[in-house]
Structures are given as structure tokens and as C-alpha cells.
Amino acid sequence: MELSVDGGSVTLADGGTVLDATRAAAVDVPTLCHDDRLSPTGSCRLCLVLADGHEVAACVTPAAAGMVIDTRDAGVADDVRRALELTAQRLPRRALHADTELAGVCDRVGIGPDAFAAVGRGLGRDESHPYFTLDRDLCIACGRCVRMCDEVQGTFALTLTGRGADTVVAAGAGGPWTESACVSCGGCVDSCPSGALSERGAGPVETTTRTTCGYCGVGCTLDAHTADGRLVSITPALEGPVNRGHACVKGRFAHGFVTSPERLTTPLLRRAGRLTPVSWEVALTFVADRLRTIRAQHGPDAIAAISSARATNEENYLLQKLMRAVIGTNNVDNCSRICHAPSAAGLTAAFGLSGGTNPADDLDTADVILLAGSNATEAHPVIGARITQRVLQGAALIVVDPRRTELARLADVHLSGRPGSNVALFNGLARLLLDHGWADLDFLAERATGLAELRDVLAGYPPERVEELSGVPAAAVSEAARLFGTARRASIVYGLGVTEHAHGTDGVRTLANLAILRGAVGTAHGGGVNPLRGQNNVQGASDMGALPDQLPGYQPVTDASVRRRFQEAWGVSLPSRPGLRIPEMFDAALTGRIRALYVMGEDVAQTDPDSAHVRAALTACDLVISQEIFPSQTAQLADVVLPAASFLEKDGTFVNFDRRFQRVRPAVRPPGEARPDFDILRAVAEAMGADPGCPSPAEAMAECARLAPLFGGISHERLDREGALHWPCRGPDDPGEAHLYRRRFATPDGRAQLAAREWLPPGEQPDAAYPYTLITGRRLVHYNAGTMTRRTADLDLVPGETLDMHPDDAARLGVDPGSPVEVTSRRGTVTAPVRVTDDVAPGQAFLAFHFPEVAANLLTSDATDEVTSCPEYKVTAVRLRAAARSSTE
Ligand code: SF4
């Protein structure tokens, strides 16, 4: 539509406001209560303008074709001034001295110190939170923080309380902030225009570096602010394609680890049983000599490497190249083996490619979301918040999870099945889709295969049998099928609760069946099947070929023509036999087949299942190299420790959960002699007398793009220009495919493959000796092995691990909240204080593995997915017993 602003003509899309029109005309209208991400309220009265002669608040007034807007009227300017004076009257003069939106607006409108009160209202401060403070005297009650919490984060932890001029924000019931439901995302702090909410210790900024979060696989775009070479703060970037100016407590605040005194700053070599500081030259010579000797004595396949889902693509690319081209083995794997390998196998078999099918933005148009095996609000908080937003807008939500997570509480249907029952549940849903005519038969006829075989298997999964196998009431299964079956746009999002099972690949396949049956994948309608990848770059680590059977871009090592291409580029002969998977590496170390293990940026001694077995394997090796940022459990068992840079100190790219390449840029220098993994790997190759090629991360990405057609159009230069690119991206002019399979699936016959899979029992089931089922997972505040978050003030928020159990079980054991309980599996025993909650079903218990003091993985099962060797972290049979309190308690 066309309209006029201050005499100039402006074109505006339908639905815009008068404020949008003034901005389109580049006319600056002051605002305080407005934030583009939030619903407008018009409460601050600063955006007053004349629209067709009427004084209106621009942010809440719809623009209309032909409207005449005047922002320069003197009477309106007086009203704006009076409104701001009214706000200023209740604030102390110091409000003007802060670097805030309020101070800027006062300057623009011409409001000086005299308009402010000499002293505050005496409303007090809340200093309870480790990362930010509330100065109530500076609160202008604009409600932006409240709306951020409600509309973006979806936590509803804040409210405005009090009367008239004393109205201020309060968390929860108004007690200390940390006792409220606040999840510390920082959205309120970032939106506050007056400085009432402010980050502790965030001073003036000299330089801002745009980068990508190094915690989870959501891939939030962050701005790292520095001054004097030090990290001052990190804020989420409004332009972030996935996070849109939002973050979680980890990405937003948990960066104190960067300057932790525990950082590794010099190489360490084990001498007389102790890790002793040495020079890089000594460390590298030692590593190269030992690797050469072991290779000469036992062959290249006696050496194995575990690459890092925390490291960049370029570093993963270089490590697999080091192993294949310099050492001469395919023994390289990454931690997707222990989380999403079943996704790679299952999605490739169903659709053709090893990644989620649709971009995160498709959640915005979904009218039903099926969330399976994911506590997204804690493990992938920004996606959890986006799902919450969509549900609040009216989408239906089905949650498949044994625990009553936050999203399960919000769901229309919560399918709380016994751990290990996913395949039965998904088969039950599939059968109902077919029985009720909710399957898209045209789509199935044109674009899918395997329907007849699937029907045969599904005959055995009526809702009543599904109830028997899973414990989920048949009526709930039917209701979930109805919601999913009648939706126009059905999205499937899932997590490790689907993959980390003895039949995890079957779980992915039978879940994918649901999307295929509904024609909700490979179409223009959105929907799709998206795994929430765990660590920041677990997708990229596999994309880059840190896999024992695949070169970069998922090209089989067994394919001679593929090998030939890499051999020509790298100038060496490459091994053709697939290498060992991570669990096989540990087994092989114990039999003497593996003599050297190179572990880059993973704490396998804490994170991998059956830790006693892992520790024994590490101890059995002749050489363990740990490349780390902290003295992790694994580093403490290593022969040599190489100090590495954190994600805030390095250059490269990550790939997030929806296949998006994004740039990682160094904001600060690594401490001491620590070096980026990329530089260390090059130095190791050179110490072994090899030229690793690709002297910089940009050149490594360019080399990978030349060799892996899926990434042919990816380059640092393009990412710097365009921000992010989805793979496949096959050439410099290819915009990348956010939506996969619009024309055909990437399977050999071009069709989606339905999978006929029977439910099979998990590797372990509760029995008389071990009557409870232990589930492991993550908590919001900490991350993975806790290596980084335990060295931040996140520790003030969650200082230790708890064993979550149902009140009935706590009563049966005779334990109160906080009492220690001994948890014993067939592999070990740990003790943790109890958290009593009915979020956990009777007969089950939950532990995270963020704290080495409560080594959850001493307990976890040694059962693995039959297809991919992914461990069954989600089902461990345990017994529980009240433990004696220690004398120090
Ligand atoms: Fe980082 Fe994930 Fe949090 Fe985003 S949601 S800030 S990527 S940890």
C-alpha cells in the first residue's frame, strides 16, 4: 500500500503499523515499550504521531492505504515530552547516566536531569541471580521483560506488580529471582530499556564478533563483545536465523569458563606417572615418535581417533584427513556414534540423506508438532521456546516421552510410554493413520514404497496391544493419531529419546513412517522429520567424514571411484576397509588391537556408557593423546595432553541441526600456549613428516567443497557474505536446500522407504534384582560432561546432580528430598541426593551426567543399537537403596 509520511511517499506491505511506515520512511520515532519481537502495547506513549489528523500511538495503529502521517506536529511533540517527563519523574537521576535506550530517548527528546528525581523510590534491588540484577528503582513498568518471558521464551515467570508509579517487574511471587520459574535465558535483560535489569560485570564494549554458539546443536547466532582483549559479554544476534535474538542461559551467560584458572595453557606429558608441563616441541615430537613407532610395530589400524562434535568442521575435516592420509587408517569416529548415528542411518534409509528434512522455520507454520524423545526446553532451549510459541499460537502438540517434561505439560496429548517402547507406539500410530483413512494415499502411490509390508506388520499393533507393550492408554494413542492424522502441516521433531536405544534406528524408521504416511515430508507444505542434534557440531563432524566408513560428504570409503578422487587430491593411497566405531575402539584397546587413541575434545571417560570399561580401555592403550581445553576425566588418563582453544577462540564453521553451515569467529585469544585444534592437528601432521595441506580453515573448507559434492558451494567467503547456507549446496550459485526432497527422495529409486519393523524389547528390562529403569539425559543449566558449564556461575544455579524419582518410590525407599540414594546397575554404583518429582513415572529414575562426582555412565547399559552401535543410554535396569548421609552433611 502507498501512504505518506511527513510529506514523502512510502510503500508498505499489508498488515504494517504506522510505526512500520515511519521506519520505512527512515523517520525516527522514539519508543520505549516497543520491541519488534513482541506484541505492541502502546503504553509508553512516546511514539505518538498524527495519522489522518488524529493523535495515535504509532506502534499499535494499523497503517492504511492513503494514510497521511505527520511526525513533526508541535502539539504531539509536547505530548511526547510530557509522557517522558512522567516516566522520568519516578526515576532517580542516575537512570540518565546509564548506556540505555531510555537515556538515548531522553537525549533525543531533550529531557535532562531536572526531570528526574534526586533519589530513587527505595524499592530495592534483587541480587540473587548470578548473572543479572534487578534495580527496581529503575523499572519503568513498560512490560517488555514480561512479554519477552511470555511470548518469546514461553516461561511466564515475570509479572508487573504494585500500583501506579510504584509498579515494577517481579519474578514469580515477588521473592528472590532465583526462586522463580525463570530459566535465565536473558531475554528480559536484553529487552529492558531502562537498565532496571542489567547483566553483572558487562562493561563498555570495544569490539563485537559475530559467531555461533558452541553448546548445543540449535546453532544460535551470538555476538561476543570484548574490551581490552577480554570477553565482556555475549548477546544473541537479532539477525540469527534460528534464534532471532534469543538464547538460553548457556549461550547467553555461560562463558566464564574462557578465563577459568583451570584452563589448560601448556602441553602436558606423563613423566613418572604425573602429567608434567613441557614445550610444544617436546609434546609434538613425543606424539609423532610414538605414533610412528606404533604404526611401524602394529600397523596403521592399531591407531584410532575420536573426533569432536565441539570442534569446527575444518578441524574435523583435518583430523579425518590426518588419520586416513598420514596414519593410513579409517579408524576415526565422532560422538554422533553415541547419540544420533541411528538418525544418520534411519534418515538415510528412509529418505536418502543423513540430515533433518526441513528448516526450523517450518515449525512456525506447523498445525501439529509431534515431539518425540526430546526435553527440548532443557536440551535445545531455543527450539523448545519456538515450539512453545507455536503451541501458544494454537498448534497442537503431541509429546512422546516417559517423563512429564515442561512441553509434555503443555501438550494436547502426552504419550508417556515405558522406556524402550517407541517402536510399538509409532507402529500403533501408523496403523491408526491407515485404519482411519488419514494416510495420504496419492503421496504413497507416487512417492513411497513398502506400504504392503508395513501393513502386514501393523496388523499386530492395534491400540490395545500398543497399550500392553508401552503402558500408554489406547485412548491416548488414538487421540494422538487423530491429531497427527487430521493436521494439514504435521512436523516431527525428535531427540535422543528415540535414538539412544538398542533399536534406535528402528525408532527413527518407524517415526519417519508417520511423516511418509501423511505425505508430510518432501512437499511444499512444511512439516518434515528433524532430529535435534545434540552438540553444537555433531552434524558437521559426520558431514566432514569423521566416520569410519565414510569420507567427507557421506561418500563410502569402500567405493573405489570415491577413494580415487581423494587420493588424487591428497596424493596418497587411502585404506579401503572401514574402520572401527567408538565402542569397538574401546573393545579393541582391551584386546591389544588398538594401541594408540587420539581423543580430540571429547571426555569419553565421563560421557560414554559403562565408564569403567572405557577407563580400562584408555589405560590399556600404549598411547592416549587428549586434546582438550580442561583437565577432563579423559585428559587425566592420557599420556600427553595438548591444550586447545575454545569455540570463542577459533575460526571455522559449525553445522547446526537443520543442516545450516554458520561461521565461527575468534573473539579472544586462547590462554597461554593453547592453540586451535586446527593448528595442533597441522603441527602433529608436520611433526610426522607430512604436509597436511590446507594451511587455513578457509582453505580446508574449500578443499572439502572440492571433494564433497554435497558441500560444493560452501565457502567461508560466501558464509561471511550470506550468513548461513543449508547443505546440500552443490555450487557457488546454489542457494542451498533448506527443504529436502521437493521433487524426489535421494534414495536409489527416488522414493521414500516405509519400514516394516517389529517392536523388540530393550537391551535391559527391570527384574527382581534391578527393579527400576534409569533414564539419563540433560539439564538446562549444564552441558554434556559439564566441562565448560561447571566452570561458570551456572554452578550457582545448579551446584550438583540429583536423582529424580517419583514421590511413591521415595516413600517406598523412605527417603526425603535431598537424602542420598545409592543407584546400582549391573556395572556399577553411584550415590546422588534425591529430587522428588512426579515428572518421573513410578518405577523410573532420572540422572544427568554433567558431574563427575555422580558418574551416571558408570551405570549405563552396554546394550547398543544393532545397526549403528549407538549405546542404550535411555534404558538401564537399576536398584535403589537409601544411603547413609556422609558425616559432613
Ligand atoms: Fe547455545 Fe543451544 Fe542455548 Fe542456542 S539453545 S544459546 S545454541 S546452547
Ligand 1 pocket test, pick from 215, 378, 538 with the greatest ligand atom count within 8 Å of Cβ, gives 215
* Residue of minimum CA distance from atom 3 in ligand 1: 248
The Cα–Cα gap between 618 and 532 comes to 30
Ligand 1 pocket test, pick from 184, 212, 220 with the greatest ligand atom count within 8 Å of Cβ, gives 220
- What percent of the residues of the chain are helix, what percent strand, and what percent coil, each to the nearest 5? 35, 20, 45
Say if strands 221-227 and 207-212 run parallel, antiparallel, or are unpaired: antiparallel
Question: CB burial class (10 A; 0-12, 13-18, 19+) of residue 26?
Answer: exposed
Match 571455522 to its residue by C-alpha cell. Answer: 652
> Which residues of the chain have a pLDDT value below 70?
886-889
Q: Among the atoms of ligand 1, which is closest to the Cα of residue 212?
A: 7
Q: Among the atoms of ligand 1, which is closest to the Cα of residue 381?
A: 5
Q: If you measure from the C-alpha of residue 788 to the centroid of ligand 1, how many angstroms do you get, rounded to a whole number?
A: 14
Pocket of ligand 1 (CB under 6 A): 213, 215-216, 218-220, 243, 247-248, 250-251, 380-382
The Cα–Cα gap between 457 and 454 comes to 5
Q: At what angle do helices 474-486 and 422-435 cross, to 10 degrees?
A: 60
pLDDT for position 888: 43
Q: φ, ψ for residue 476 (rounded to 5)?
A: -70, -40
Q: If you measure from the C-alpha of residue 248 to the centroid of ligand 1, how many angstroms do you get, rounded to a whole number?
A: 5
Q: If you measure from the C-alpha of residue 382 to the centroid of ligand 1, how many angstroms do you get, rounded to a whole number?
A: 6
User: Residues 801, 807, 812, CA angle at the centre, nearest 5°?
Assistant: 105
Bond preceding residue 728 cis, omega within 30 of 0: yes
pLDDT for position 852: 87
Ligand 1 pocket test, pick from 243, 257, 655, 656 with the greatest ligand atom count within 8 Å of Cβ, gives 243
Q: Among the atoms of ligand 1, which is closest to the Cα of residue 383?
A: 5
Q: If you measure from the C-alpha of residue 143 to the centroid of ligand 1, how many angstroms do you get, rounded to a whole number?
A: 25
* Residue of minimum CA distance from atom 1 in ligand 1: 251
The Cα–Cα gap between 5 and 63 comes to 11
pLDDT for position 338: 83
User: Residues 676, 677, 683, CA angle at the centre, nearest 5°?
Assistant: 95
Q: Which residues contact 668 (CB under 8 A, 6 or more apart)?
A: 224, 226, 229, 230, 231, 258, 648, 649
Quickly count: other Cβ atoms within 10 Å of residue 590's Cβ.
15
Q: Among 631, 542, 616, 551, which Cα is nearest to 585's?
A: 616
Cell digits of residue 322: 590426518
Q: If you measure from the C-alpha of residue 584 to the centroid of ligand 1, how many angstroms do you get, rounded to a whole number?
A: 31
**Alpha-carbon 719 to chain mean position:** 21
Say if strands 368-372 and 274-277 run parallel, antiparallel, or are unpaired: unpaired
Q: If you measure from the C-alpha of residue 775 to the centroid of ligand 1, how many angstroms do you get, rounded to a whole number?
A: 23
The Cα–Cα gap between 8 and 199 comes to 41
Q: If you measure from the C-alpha of residue 658 to the centroid of ligand 1, how many angstroms do you get, rounded to a whole number?
A: 14
* Residue of minimum CA distance from atom 6 in ligand 1: 251
**Alpha-carbon 698 to chain mean position:** 25
Strand order in the sheet with 132-135: 125-126, 132-135, 197-199
Q: Residue 847: beta bridge partners?
A: 776
Q: If you measure from the C-alpha of residue 586 to the centroid of ligand 1, how many angstroms do you get, rounded to a whole number?
A: 31
Cell digits of residue 80: 511526547
Q: If you measure from the C-alpha of residue 250 to the centroid of ligand 1, how many angstroms do you get, rounded to a whole number?
A: 6
What's 764's DSSP letter? -
The Cα–Cα gap between 550 and 798 comes to 40
Q: Among 232, 375, 297, 319, which Cα is nearest to 542's?
A: 319
What's 327's DSSP letter? I
Q: Among 372, 424, 418, 373, which Cα is nearest to 760's?
A: 424
Using DSSP's 3-state secondary structure scheme, residue 809 falls into helix
Q: If you measure from the C-alpha of residue 386 to the centroid of ligand 1, how many angstroms do you get, rounded to a whole number?
A: 12
Ligand 1 pocket test, pick from 155, 211, 213 with the greatest ligand atom count within 8 Å of Cβ, gives 213
Ligand 1 pocket test, pick from 257, 382, 646, 648 with the greatest ligand atom count within 8 Å of Cβ, gives 382
Q: Residue 836: beta bridge partners?
A: 805
**pTM for the whole thing?**
0.95
Q: Which residues contact 344 (CB under 8 A, 6 or more apart)?
A: 336, 354, 542, 868
- CA distances, 372 to each of 37, 419, 483, 764, 887 (Å): 28, 12, 15, 21, 43
Q: What amino acid occupies position 624?
A: V
In the chain, count H helices and then E strands: 29, 38
Q: Among 167, 104, 159, 108, which Cα is nearest to 138's?
A: 167
Q: If you measure from the C-alpha of residue 187 to the centroid of ligand 1, how many angstroms do you get, rounded to a whole number?
A: 13
Q: Among the atoms of ligand 1, which is closest to the Cα of residue 382?
A: 5
